[in-house]
C-alpha cells in the first residue's frame, strides 16, 4: 500500500466499477421490504451548487437500506425549471446584445433546449463525483414526453372535477420578466416610502401609490367609523390631476381606521385587497398600468411614464393644485418583489388558469395529522400546517416559452375554452393557450410521474411498473426552504391523483452557507464550487463534513477546518489498513479464512479481555449507529463512528493489541475493522470500498455486503 491515500486516483475508477456492475439498480425479489427515494430534480440550467451536495443524506439512506437487503431504488432526474431557466438564458442573451423579443416562440424554445442539454451532462457528472449511487438507467427529465403526458392527464382530470378554472383576476406580475407568479414566488422587503395625504373632496386619505389614482373606482371606510357615516353609500365630488370627477364611498371591514385618516382609495385593478373590496361592492376594475410597467392611455397625459416617473409627476401637480395635504416621509411598509430580478411586483388583472386549493389542502393536512406522513424534524409541521390552512388558489399560468405548454384551446369564434390531454381539437377555429404551466405544477407530480413512466420489471413471471412496486416512496428528503413550495404541493396533488400518499417520511435538511454564515449567491460572489473541494479534500471528506456536527434541519456554515478534519480521518483509516495489511501475511494467511467473521463469531473467538471488550463495544456501536440512522440522526451517527474509530479503536485498542499480536487477536483486529468499514460505508463510500477490498479475502465490493448486526 502507498503511504498516503490518493483520492484523485481512485474515486472515478471505483464509481465506474459500481455503475458497470449494476449495483445501483434495485434487485427485486418476492416479499422483500422495498425502499425508494426520488431525487429532488436539480434545475437543468446550470452546474450544481453546494446545496446539492446535501443529497449525501439521501445516499446515506440508500446505501444503508441496500446493505440491509431491501430492493432499493434511488431515481435520478432533472427539472426544466421553466422561469428559472428562461431567466438564466435571457441573461446569456443580454450578454450577446440580444433579448427574447428577437426570436419567435419555436426558435427561442429550441435555443433554450440546446442550452439545457449542454448543462445536463455536466450536472450528472457532478452527482457521480460525489459518489451518489443513483440508478442512472431510470434517469427522468420533466420535459420527457411520457412525463408531459401524465401532467396533461392530471390537468384534464382537475378541470373535469371542477378544481381547475380560468378567471380574470389580479396576479403577481413582474413587468421586467414578463410573467405572473404565485404568492410563494414573491419576496417581501421592508421599505420606507413617502405616505401621501391626498384631498378627495370632503375627505382626506393616505396612500403610497398616488400614481394609481387614475384607476380609483371607490373610496372606503370602516363601517363603524363614526367620522364618515354620513358619506357611506354616496358619491362625492373630487378634484383630480385630470379634472373633476365623482367617486362612491363604501363601507368595508377590511379598512383599518387607524391607518392614515381611516379612509382609503380603492383601486381594484392594482391592489389585492382593493380587488376584493371591489368585488364585494360591485366597483369596476380600471387598469391603468400596462404589463410593460408603464401607465396607459387611461392616465391621460401621464401615459407612457413608468410607475416611478408617474408617481413623481402626479405628486408635483397635486402640490401645485393644493390637493396634497401633507407627506409622511418615513412610512415603513412591506413591498413585494420578484424573487429573481427584485423588480417591484405589480398586481395586475390577467386571465389565467387557477387551481382550487382548499379541497386539496384538507386531505394533505389530515395525512400528517394522522401520522400517515411523518415530517422530520417535527418542528416543521407547524410551517406545513400554517401554509395549508391559509392557502389561496394557485395561479399555474406562466407567460414564458420554456416549459410544458398548457393543453387548453380557445375557440376564436365563440370564445369557449376546451381542455384536453394534449391533443388539439378538430377544426380550424381553435387557438392554443400561449402560456406554460408553473414549473411547480409539474414538479408536484414528480413522485408518481417518474415511477409511472419508468421501465417495467419482472418478478415470478409478473411484469410490473416501478409505480406498482415502489409507490408510495419511502422518503422525500429536501431542503426545508421548499417545504411549502414543493413538498406540500406533492402531498396535495399526489393524494388527489393516486389516492395514496406520495411518500411516508419527509426529511428536511438545512442550508449550507458560506464560512461567514451568509447565504451563498452569485451576486455576493461567495458561491463555493463543490467540485473544487472534492479535488482538494476528496468526496468522502466533503460528504462527511456535511453531516458531522450539524443536526438535521439546521443551517450550517461551510467549515474548512471540518473539511480538513474529515480529510485527516480518511488518512487515519488508510493508516489503520496499512498496519493490518503489514501484519496479515504472517498472522493470517489469505488461504486460512475465506469468509468475513460476524460479530457473534468474533465474540466466541475473543480470548483476551481487551479483545472481548472491543468486540462488545463494536456490538454496541452497531446498535447505536443503526438506531441513529433509523431516526435520521445522521450527525450523531457520524460523530459516534468518528470518535469510536479514531479514539476507541485506533488510539486505544490498536496501541494495546500491537504489543501482543497473535493469530487469535489478529482475527479480532482484522474483522472488527471490516465491520467498522461497513458501518462507515454510507458516509464515506469511496475509501471504505477501497480499504474493504484490500482487506477482504474475497475482495468483494462493500456495496453488496450486509449491514452488520
DSSP string, 333-402: EEEEEETTT-PBPEEEEEEEEEE--HHHHHHHHHHHHTTSSEEESGGGHHHHHHHHHT---EE-EE--SS
Contact 138, 28 (CB under 8 A): no
Three cell numbers, residue 278: 371591489
Strands 394-395 and 346-355: antiparallel
Share of residues in the chain with pLDDT > 70 (%): 98
Q: State the pLDDT confidence band at 591, using cuts at 50, 70 and 90.
A: very low
The pLDDT score that the predictor gives to residue 110 is 97
Q: Report the pLDDT averaged over residues 17-42.
A: 92
Q: Is the pTM of this model over 0.85?
A: yes
Q: Report the pLDDT averaged over residues 601-629.
A: 96
Task: Tell me which of 523 and 576 has the higher pLDDT.
Answer: 576
Residue 597, pLDDT > 70, answer yes
Residue 525, pLDDT > 80, answer no
Q: State the pLDDT confidence band at 258, using cuts at 50, 70 and 90.
A: very high
Q: Max Cα separation, the chain? A: 106
Handedness of CA 215, 217, 219, 222 (dihedral sign): negative
pLDDT, one tens digit per residue, over 166-181 is: 999 999 999 999 999 9
Q: Report the pLDDT averaged over residues 499-504.
A: 98
Q: Report the pLDDT averaged over residues 222-243.
A: 93
Helix (H) or strand (E) holding 503: strand 503-509
The pLDDT score that the predictor gives to residue 116 is 93
The pLDDT score that the predictor gives to residue 584 is 85
Q: Would you kindly state where each structural domain of the chain is located, as residue ranges?
A: 7-13+32-148+445-487+497-542, 180-346, 555-704
The pLDDT score that the predictor gives to residue 539 is 98
Residue 20, pLDDT > 90, answer yes
CB atoms within 10 A of CB 390: 8
The pLDDT score that the predictor gives to residue 696 is 84
Mean pLDDT of all residues in the chain?
94
Give how far the C-alpha of residue 320 lies from the chain's centroid of Cα atoms, to the nearest Å: 52
Query: What SS3 state is found at 314?
Result: helix
Q: Report the pLDDT averaged over residues 19-34.
A: 90
Query: What SS3 state is found at 685?
Result: helix
Count of residues making up the chain: 709
Contact 677, 685 (CB under 8 A): no
Three cell numbers, residue 237: 365630488
Residue 523, pLDDT > 70, answer no
pLDDT, one tens digit per residue, over 380-401 is: 999 999 999 999 999 999 999 9
Considering only 125-134, 283-292, 519-528, 554-563, which range has the smallest mean pLDDT? 519-528
The CATH architecture assigned to 555-704 reads Orthogonal Bundle (1.10)
Query: What SS3 state is found at 250?
Result: strand
CB atoms within 10 A of CB 14: 20
CATH 3.40.50.620 matches 7-13+32-148+445-487+497-542 = yes
CA distances from 185 to 192, 395, 426, 476, 493 (A): 22, 11, 37, 22, 19
What is d(CA 273, CA 427) in angstroms, rounded to the nearest whole number? 42
Q: Which residue's C-alpha cell is 461567495?
A: 526
Three cell numbers, residue 632: 435520521
The pLDDT score that the predictor gives to residue 49 is 81
Q: Report the pLDDT averaged over residues 133-161.
A: 97
Q: What are phi and psi of 668, to 5 degrees?
A: -60, -50
Considering only 37-46, 92-101, 579-588, which range has the smallest mean pLDDT? 579-588
Third-level CATH fold of 180-346: Isoleucyl-tRNA Synthetase; domain 2 (3.90.740)
Q: Report the pLDDT averaged over residues 148-159.
A: 98
Contact 672, 618 (CB under 8 A): yes
What is d(CA 155, CA 141) in angstroms, rounded to the nearest whole number? 19
What is d(CA 486, CA 522) in angstroms, rounded to the nearest whole number? 24
Amino acid at each position: 500500500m502507498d503511504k498516503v491515500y490518493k483520492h484523485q486516483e481512485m474515486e472515478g475508477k471505483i464509481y465506474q466499477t459500481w455503475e458497470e456492475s449494476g449495483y445501483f439498480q434495485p434487485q427485486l425479489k418476492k416479499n422483500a421490504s422495498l425502499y425508494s427515494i426520488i431525487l429532488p430534480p436539480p434545475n437543468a440550467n446550470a452546474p450544481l451548487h453546494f446545496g446539492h451536495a446535501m443529497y449525501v443524506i439521501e445516499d446515506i439512506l440508500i446505501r444503508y437500506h441496500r446493505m440491509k437487503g431491501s430492493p432499493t431504488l434511488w431515481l435520478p432526474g432533472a427539472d426544466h425549471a421553466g422561469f428559472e431557466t428562461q431567466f438564466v438564458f435571457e441573461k446569456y442573451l443580454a450578454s450577446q446584445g440580444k433579448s427574447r423579443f428577437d426570436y419567435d416562440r419555436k426558435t427561442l424554445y429550441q435555443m433554450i433546449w440546446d442550452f439545457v442539454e449542454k448543462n445536463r451532462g455536466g450536472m450528472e457528472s457532478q452527482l457521480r463525483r460525489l459518489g451518489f449511487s443513483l440508478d442512472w438507467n431510470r434517469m427522468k427529465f420533466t420535459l420527457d414526453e411520457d412525463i408531459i403526458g401524465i401532467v396533461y392527464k392530471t390537468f384534464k382530470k382537475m378541470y373535469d372535477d371542477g378544481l381547475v378554472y380560468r378567471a380574470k383576476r389580479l396576479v403577481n406580475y413582474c413587468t421586467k420578466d414578463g410573467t405572473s407568479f404565485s404568492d410563494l414566488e414573491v419576496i417581501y422587503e421592508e421599505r420606507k416610502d413617502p405616505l401621501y395625504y391626498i384631498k378627495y373632496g370632503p375627505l382626506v386619505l393616505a396612500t403610497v401609490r398616488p400614481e394609481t389614482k387614475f384607476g380609483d373606482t371607490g373610496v372606503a371606510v370602516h363601517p363603524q367609523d363614526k367620522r364618515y357615516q354620513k358619506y357611506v353609500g354616496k358619491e362625492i365630488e373630487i378634484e383630480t390631476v385630470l379634472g373633476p370627477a365623482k367617486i362612491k364611498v363604501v363601507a368595508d371591514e377590511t379598512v383599518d381606521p387607524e391607518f392614515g385618516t381611516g379612509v382609503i382609495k380603492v383601486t381594484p385593478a392594482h391592489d389585492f385587497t382593493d380587488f376584493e373590496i371591489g368585488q364585494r361592492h360591485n366597483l369596476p376594475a380600471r387598469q391603468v398600468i400596462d404589463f410593460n410597467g408603464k401607465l396607459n392611455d387611461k392616465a391621460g397625459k401621464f401615459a407612457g411614464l413608468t410607475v416611478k416617473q408617474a408617481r413623481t409627476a402626479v405628486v408635483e401637480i397635486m402640490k401645485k393644485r393644493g390637493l396634497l395635504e401633507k407627506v409622511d416621509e418615513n412610512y415603513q411598509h412591506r413591498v413585494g418583489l420578484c424573487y429573481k430580478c427584485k423588480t417591484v411586483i405589480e398586481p395586475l388583472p390577467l386571465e389565467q388558469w387557477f387551481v382550487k386549493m382548499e379541497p386539496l389542502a384538507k386531505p394533505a393536512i389530515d395525512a400528517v395529522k394522522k401520522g400517515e406522513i411523518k415530517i422530520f424534524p417535527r418542528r416543521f409541521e407547524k410551517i406545513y400546517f400554517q401554509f395549508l390552512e391559509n392557502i389561496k388558489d394557485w395561479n399555474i399560468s406562466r407567460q414564458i416559452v420554456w416549459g410544458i405548454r398548457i393543453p387548453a384551446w380557445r375557440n376564436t369564434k365563440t370564445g369557449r375554452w376546451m381542455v384536453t390531454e394534449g391533443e388539439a381539437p378538430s377544426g380550424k377555429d381553435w387557438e392554443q393557450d400561449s402560456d406554460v404551466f408553473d414549473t411547480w405544477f409539474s414538479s408536484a407530480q414528480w413522485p408518481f410521474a417518474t415511477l409511472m413512466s419508468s421501465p417495467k420489471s419482472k418478478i415470478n413471471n409478473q411484469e410490473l411498473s416501478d409505480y406498482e412496486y415502489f409507490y408510495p416512496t419511502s422518503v422525500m428528503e429536501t431542503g426545508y426552504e421548499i417545504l411549502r413550495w414543493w413538498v406540500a404541493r406533492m402531498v396535495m396533488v399526489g393524494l388527489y391523483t393516486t389516492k395514496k400518499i406520495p411518500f411516508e417520511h419527509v426529511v428536511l435538511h438545512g442550508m449550507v452557507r458560506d464560512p461567514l454564515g451568509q447565504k451563498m449567491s452569485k451576486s455576493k460572489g461567495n458561491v463555493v464550487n463543490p467540485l473544487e473541494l472534492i479535488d482538494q479534500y476528496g468526496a468522502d471528506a466533503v460528504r462527511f463534513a456535511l453531516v458531522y456536527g450539524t443536526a438535521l434541519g439546521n443551517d450550517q456554515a461551510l467549515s474548512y477546518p471540518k473539511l480538513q478534519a474529515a480529510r485527516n480521518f480518511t488518512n487515519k483509516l488508510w493508516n489503520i489498513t496499512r498496519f493490518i495489511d503489514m501484519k496479515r501475511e504472517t498472522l493470517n494467511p489469505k488461504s486460512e479464512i475465506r469468509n468475513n467473521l460476524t460479530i457473534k463469531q468474533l465474540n466466541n473467538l475473543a480470548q483476551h479481555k481487551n479483545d472481548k471488550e472491543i468486540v462488545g463495544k463494536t456490538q454496541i456501536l452497531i446498535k447505536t449507529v443503526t438506531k441513529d440512522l433509523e431516526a435520521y440522526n445522521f450527525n450523531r451517527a457520524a460523530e459516534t463512528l468518528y470518535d469510536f474509530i479514531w479514539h476507541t479503536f485506533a488510539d486505544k485498542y490498536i496501541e494495546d493489541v500491537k504489543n501482543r499480536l497473535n493469530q487469535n487477536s489478529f482475527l479480532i483486529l482484522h474483522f472488527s475493522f471490516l465491520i467498522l468499514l461497513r458501518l462507515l460505508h454510507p458516509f464515506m463510500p469511496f475509501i471504505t470500498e477501497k480499504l474493504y477490498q484490500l482487506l477482504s479475502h474475497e475482495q468483494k465490493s462493500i456495496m453488496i455486503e450486509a449491514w452488520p448486526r
